[in-house]
Amino acid sequence: MCLLAMLYRSVAGFPLIVAANRDEYYDRPGSEPGFISPKVVAGRDKRAGGTWLGVNVPAGRIVGLTNVHSSIPADPRARSRGLLCMELLLADPQHDIKQQLKQQLAQSQHNPFNLLFATAGSAWIACWHDNALVVEDIKPGLCVLTNTPAFAPADARARWTWSMIKAGDSIEGIITGLERVCRSHGVLPDGSDALCVHGGKSGTLSSTIIAIGDNQPSRYLHAQGPPCRSAYKDYSFLLAKERG
């Protein structure tokens, strides 16, 4: 996934609003969102079984990740990063979840990633790069993760996203703005592609927008395909209750 953007505690009634574009090889599709456990709603990577973005419904918890580009080639034998995402969605909040992440990284080899963990009460980013883990809490506002290490200077995609989202808008205005961001094409000032990508071997396979409400119904919109030509469908009913 090349984009993971979150408005944290910035829109009245919706403490968590997340937009994500999943960029991947065309031969690595993901499923449409559904219950992948009695508590967790997510799309599933059909190859490795993990996920790139999901919601623990009763906990009001969102976990998502982006792959990070590195000068060192990715290790094809490394454990799927999407399994980390799945594990943190299911993690017991009575235990230190940051410590659980550190233990997984110590036990298995993982290629670089940015990971977002968020509830209405707390949120943090973890960046695993050059075999080092950096974790920082998130303050209210807009947070944008791309394929650049989270704590490096922002790349053109992150700056483009910041320029297109206005936190003061209504929830409908925010969702419309996020859809516009996720559909954006063209070349950015640094020569990189905008956020909806159509490459020869890889591109944007899906797009998701999630808004977790406190006293308002939560929203879950998903385009199964590049959002420039695949309509966002409403999956909000999945967040209404957990399965038995």
pLDDT in tens, 129-158: 998 999 999 999 999 999 999 998 888 888
pLDDT in tens, 92-101: 888 899 999 9
pLDDT in tens, 195-226: 999 989 999 999 999 999 998 999 999 999 99
Confidence of residue 241 (pLDDT cuts 50, 70, 90): low
Report how far residue 190's alpha carbon sits from residue 210's, in angstroms, rounded to the nearest whole number: 29
**Identity of the residue numbered 96:** D
Closest CA to 86 of 109, 65, 67: 65
16 has a pLDDT exceeding 60: yes
Please answer whether residues 197 and 231 qualify as being in contact, where contact means their C-beta atoms are separated by less than 8 angstroms.
no
Report how far residue 19's alpha carbon sits from residue 34's, in angstroms, rounded to the nearest whole number: 17
CB-neighbour burial class of residue 120 (10 A; exposed 0-12, middle 13-18, buried 19+) = middle
Q: Which residue has the tokens 């973890």?
A: 126
Q: Which helix (H) or strand (E) holds 143?
A: strand 141-145
Confidence of residue 1 (pLDDT cuts 50, 70, 90): low
- Ranking 31-40, 178-187, 228-237 by mean pLDDT, the lowest is 178-187
pLDDT the model gives residue 243: 46
Please answer whether residues 61 and 119 qualify as being in contact, where contact means their C-beta atoms are separated by less than 8 angstroms.
yes
Other Cβ atoms closer than 10 A to 69: 15
Q: What is the CATH number of domain 3-239?
A: 3.60.60.10
> How do the domains of the chain map onto residue ranges?
3-239
**Identity of the residue numbered 194:** A
Six token digits for residue 142? 């807009």
**Who contacts 115 (Cβ-Cβ below 8 Å, separation ≥6)?**
63, 64, 65, 84, 85, 88, 101, 125, 126, 127, 128
Q: Is 217 helix (H, G, I), strand (E, B) or coil?
A: coil
Tell me the average pLDDT across 109-132.
96
pLDDT the model gives residue 167: 63
Other Cβ atoms closer than 10 A to 151: 12
Report how far residue 101's alpha carbon sits from residue 206's, in angstroms, rounded to the nearest whole number: 26
pLDDT in tens, 157-179: 888 888 888 666 789 989 999 99
**Who contacts 94 (Cβ-Cβ below 8 Å, separation ≥6)?**
none
pTM of the predicted protein model: 0.94
Report how far residue 197's alpha carbon sits from residue 89's, in angstroms, rounded to the nearest whole number: 28
Closest CA to 165 of 54, 2, 8, 1: 8
